Amino acid sequence: MGFRLSVRDGLSASGQCQLVADSDHFHRVVREGILTAKVSLDIATADFKAMLVPEPATRRAPSIIDVLRRLAARGVEIRLLHAGTPSSAALRDLKKSLPRNLVIRRCPRLHFKTVVIDNNQMYLGSANLTGAGLGAKADGKRNFELGVWTQSSQMIDAVQDHFNRIWEGRECVACRRKDVCPVPLEEPAL
């Protein structure tokens, strides 16, 4: 596809990507990405935990679930697709309330990680929606992660098509892992 990868270079709609490495994930994906969503937010992650999101102005650190809940209250349509059972802290937080426009589905075969913001910017990489992956954990405690950040509409459309195939259950028909997924695209029992 001819995407150019470079650390901290500018982006262009023509298909350039920016490399996101290690601790840059929190600033780029969470602060400049998730928190800026105005219309829609699609997240795919293999692992989903109640990652804390520090707010420097208030010195608070709400969980990512509270952040998603606030975005949903502002009208952002959120789809979260993940593979496993959320952490116990995430499940407790989810049980408090789940806004109508925050929909969570699970597919045990899912392993790719992406965050698509307003269908015009995207992260695609190795980081899960966890403190060690995308979160603000200190160096020495966080995972070594790599990914790309792009505004390439061609690349975003291709990833969205793949996300939608799973989200809509089009992959369930031929799935040979139904023994670990008795309810296709199950939503969490809250």
pLDDT tens readout for residues 13-71: 455 899 999 989 999 999 999 999 999 999 999 988 888 898 888 888 888 999 999 99
SS3 content of the chain, % helix, strand, coil (to 5): 25, 25, 50
Full DSSP string of 102-136: EEEEE-TT---EEEEETTTEEEEES--BSTTTTS-
Specify the DSSP class assigned to residue 80.
E
Per-residue burial over 35-64, b = 16 or more CB atoms within 10 Å of its CB, e = otherwise: eebeebbbbbbbbbbbbbbeeeeeeeebbb
**Amino acid identity, position 76:** V
Q: Which residues pair with 63 in a beta bridge?
A: 52
Would you list the domain boundaries of the chain?
18-180
Q: Which residues pair with 144 in a beta bridge?
A: none
pTM for the structure as a whole: 0.86
The CA distance from 179 to 190, in Å, is 22
Domain covering 18-180 in this structure, CATH number: 3.30.870.10
What confidence score (pLDDT) does residue 20 get? 95
CA distances from 62 to 53, 65, 190 (A): 6, 8, 20
pLDDT tens readout for residues 123-134: 999 999 988 898
Q: What are phi and psi of 110, to 5 degrees?
A: -65, 130
SS3 at position 60: strand
Q: Does pLDDT of 5 surpass 50?
A: no
